[in-house]
Amino acid sequence: MDISTTYMGLALESPVIVGSCGLTDAVEKLKRIEDAGAGAAVLKSIFEEEIAYEYNDIIKDVSLTTGYNLEQFDYLDVQLRGKKLFAYLDLIKKAKAGVSMPVIASVNCVYSHEWSSFATQIAEAGADALELNMFFVPADFERERSELETLYFQIVEKLLKTITIPVSLKISHYFSNLGQMIRRLSETGISGIVLFNRFFSPDIDTDRLEVKPSFIFSSPSDLAISLRWMAIMSQRVNCDLAASTGVHDAQGVIKQILAGAQAVQMVSTLYKNKIPYLKTVDRDIQNWMETHGFKTLGDFRGKLSQAEADNPAVYDRLQFMKYYA
Ligand SMILES: Cc1cc2nc3c(=O)[nH]c(=O)nc-3n(C[C@H](O)[C@H](O)[C@H](O)COP(=O)(O)O)c2cc1C
């Protein structure tokens, strides 16, 4: 059984990509990921906010001891950014020298002006593609919805002018007209969209009366949202779609490909079951294909997408009508 696929024009030996996380932040880890049979890996993101926070801390120290000095801040800014970015570029170069699977760099992007020069360096360091993890909280009461959405297009336009490696967007499902937004983004010239990112969420501790972090890892039931949207969008877009969130086993991968995914990202399940579990996932996909008489992923990709399913309306249904009745 052939489980190879292409994603953003890259050849992958397996549809399973290890998503951006702490498991992909060092070349030794990437080698283990490749040995276990992953098709590609998305490096741990470099966070624009992270740089900003560190910068603010230093600024606080400097301003306490020496008072404000704009020139000094400019210097610090360049130094600090330089250090973080250098370490990231070094990771990309080492990864490319150490593994032969595609290596996708990842940037957590907040403001459009920041990343175009860095993106060039990412491409020059040898990254096979760049995934942009973009999100603006839709609870900004000062800005119009359309203003927030425009930012996505501005960032993409700028990046596509800057670099020639494939670019993908990892987006959330918090858009007022999600289907239209996914389609419009797919028409910008990007090569892939990842449906969907999973965010850190707050929870409330009722004993201590404190806000605390909620579960960090997903559960298999979290697959439902990306599965629905994969099925609805897979034949309506102009770029590849990869699934993310709640894919915990071969069944999850197969469902997403049946819905139309070109590739699938996994994270939480690999923290739980460890990297060698990827071998089990690849083997289980092949066994399932053999049972069902499929020789390649293309033989069944999209068979249960909304465009091809016998009962397409099921993907539009939201209410538990039958159960309420
Ligand atoms: C510990 C941890 C760290 C993560 N770090 C990043 C990151 O740096 N950049 C990013 O885009 N996503 C990050 N994610 C999100 C994952 O890439 C993925 O989208 C999310 O966990 C949903 O997939 P899953 O259900 O397979 O876990 C992280 C997730 C976890 C659990």
What is the three-state SS of 259-270? HCCCEEEECHHH
At residue 68 the predicted structure's pLDDT band, cuts being 50, 70 and 90, is: very low
Does residue 70 register a pLDDT over 60? Answer: no
Average pLDDT for residues 267-271, to the nearest whole number? 97
Nearest CA to ligand 1 atom 22: 245
Average pLDDT for residues 6-15, to the nearest whole number? 98
Top pLDDT among 286 and 212 is at: 286
At residue 110 the predicted structure's pLDDT band, cuts being 50, 70 and 90, is: low
CATH (residue range 5-324)? 3.20.20.70
Length of the chain: 325
**Per-residue pLDDT tens over the stretch 116-136:** 777 888 999 999 999 999 877
Residue 276, CA distances (Å) to 31, 34, 35, 45 in order: 12, 10, 8, 23
The domain segmentation of the chain, as residue ranges, is 5-324
Nearest CA to ligand 1 atom 2: 21
**Per-residue pLDDT tens over the stretch 214-253:** 888 999 999 999 999 999 999 999 999 999 999 999 999 9
Top pLDDT among 70 and 288 is at: 288
Ligand 1 mean position to 151 CA, how many Å?
23
At residue 205 the predicted structure's pLDDT band, cuts being 50, 70 and 90, is: very high
State the pLDDT at residue 83.
76
**Per-residue pLDDT tens over the stretch 77-106:** 555 567 778 899 999 999 999 999 999 999
Average model confidence (pLDDT) across the chain = 87
Peptide bond into 196 cis (omega under 30): yes
By most ligand atoms within 8 Å of CB, the mutation choice from 196, 267, 277 for ligand 1 is 267
Q: CA torsion 121→94→108→82, rounded to 10°?
A: -50
Does residue 53 register a pLDDT over 70? Answer: no
Q: Which of 48-52, 135-139, 245-249 comes out lowest in average pLDDT?
A: 48-52
At residue 316 the predicted structure's pLDDT band, cuts being 50, 70 and 90, is: confident
Top pLDDT among 136 and 35 is at: 35
By most ligand atoms within 8 Å of CB, the mutation choice from 16, 17, 18, 20 for ligand 1 is 20
State the pLDDT at residue 323.
59
Give burial (CB, 10 Å; 0-12/13-18/19+) of 304.
buried
Phi/psi for 64 (5° steps) reads -70, -40
Nearest CA to ligand 1 atom 1: 21
For the CA of 47, the nearest atom of ligand 1 = 8
Nearest CA to ligand 1 atom 28: 21
Nearest CA to ligand 1 atom 20: 198
Ligand 1 mean position to 290 CA, how many Å?
31
Average pLDDT for residues 183-189, to the nearest whole number? 97
For the CA of 244, the nearest atom of ligand 1 = 23
CA 165/CA 92 separation, integer angstroms: 14
Ligand 1 mean position to 201 CA, how many Å?
13
Nearest CA to ligand 1 atom 23: 245
Does residue 47 register a pLDDT over 80? Answer: no
Q: Which of 41-45, 49-53, 167-171, 317-321 comes out lowest in average pLDDT?
A: 49-53
User: Where does ligand 1 bind, in terms of residues with CB under 6 Å?
Assistant: 19-22, 44-45, 106, 108, 133, 170, 197-198, 216-218, 222, 244-247, 266-268
